[in-house]
Chain A
Amino acid sequence: QVQFVQSGAELKKPGDSVRLSCKASGYDFTSYPLHWMRQAPGQRPEWVGWITPDDDETNYSQRFRGRVTISKDRAATTAYLEVRGLTSEDTAVYYCVRWAGGADPWGPGTLVSVSS
């Protein structure tokens, strides 16, 4: 079955950068777009951006443009999300999500905490 293994929780200081990973298995990694979403405590999910399955084209939410980079390693079936210039407002659970006509499934998430 489709599974994602996401990297472990991160504790960062304001201004730091973080790189999260998401290893996929159970499906053809090159056939589906891969999205990143995040969810701050008690808030609705928020779309961060996505990467196309084949040509690595990316598209980001305007809210994050210039501050995030999504990439992937096809051989390792792993996607990455880098977020730079972290602030306390970036404290959230970050999810990788396969887009299969809907966000399905979601990875287990990685908690990123930003605090001085």
Chain B
Amino acid sequence: EIVLTQSPGTLSLSPGEGATLSCRASQTVFKNKLYWYQQKPGQPPRLLIYRASTRATGIPDRFSGTGSGTDFTLTITRLEPEDSAVYYCQQSGTAPLTFGGGTRLEI
């Protein structure tokens, strides 16, 4: 199965700053079927980015995804306190679907 490794494990930043979250796959993610989710305590994950770079409905343009192959990045600009959450990457290009271990973002 494809192993997704996220870094850093924890990121502590101030409001207004930018964040760069990394997701590295153990093998090529087929058709860039790589997704990013945000999860706040007590809530289910919420889809932010699909197919590596397309924002999901209602997601502000402060969130952007880039990358292909095995290296993917989620960038969040102009951080706000409500961006505090755990961010997961996930791939569906090769069964089984797998998730990264998450990056905790503290604002």
User: Are A and B part of the same complex?
Assistant: yes
Binding site for B on A (CB under 8 A): 35, 44-47, 59, 61-63, 95, 101-109
Interchain CB contact under 8 A, B99 and A44: yes
Interchain nearest-CB distance for A108 vs B (Å): 6
Interchain nearest-CB distance for B85 vs A (Å): 14
Contact of A45 among B95, B96, B99 (CB under 8 A): B99
Interchain CB contact under 8 A, A107 and B44: yes
A-B contact pairs, 19 of them (CB 8 A): A44-B102, A45-B45, A45-B90, A45-B99, A47-B98, A61-B97, A62-B96, A101-B50, A102-B47, A102-B50, A102-B56, A103-B45, A103-B90, A104-B50, A104-B56, A105-B44, A105-B46, A107-B44, A109-B44
Please name the residue on chain B nearest to A97 by beta carbon. B44
Binding site for A on B (CB under 8 A): 35, 37, 44-47, 50-51, 56, 88, 90, 95-102
Interchain CB contact under 8 A, A106 and B46: yes
Contact of A44 among B44, B46, B101 (CB under 8 A): B101
8 cross-chain pairs, A with B, having the tightest CB-CB distances, nearest first: A106-B44, A102-B50, A47-B97, A104-B47, A44-B99, A102-B47, A61-B96, A102-B35
Please name the residue on chain A nearest to B48 by beta carbon. A102
The number of A-B residue pairs with CB atoms under 8 Å apart is 47
A104 to B56 CA separation, bound complex (whole angstroms): 9
A102 to B36 CA separation, bound complex (whole angstroms): 9
Interchain CB contact under 8 A, A103 and B35: yes
Given contacts A47-B98, A95-B44, A104-B47, 5 further A-B contacts (CB under 8 A): A102-B51, A102-B56, A103-B37, A105-B44, A106-B46
A28 to B44 CA separation, bound complex (whole angstroms): 22
Quick one: which of A46, A104, A109 has the most chain B CB within 10 A?
Answer: A104
Interchain CB contact under 8 A, A45 and B50: no
Please name the residue on chain B nearest to A99 by beta carbon. B92
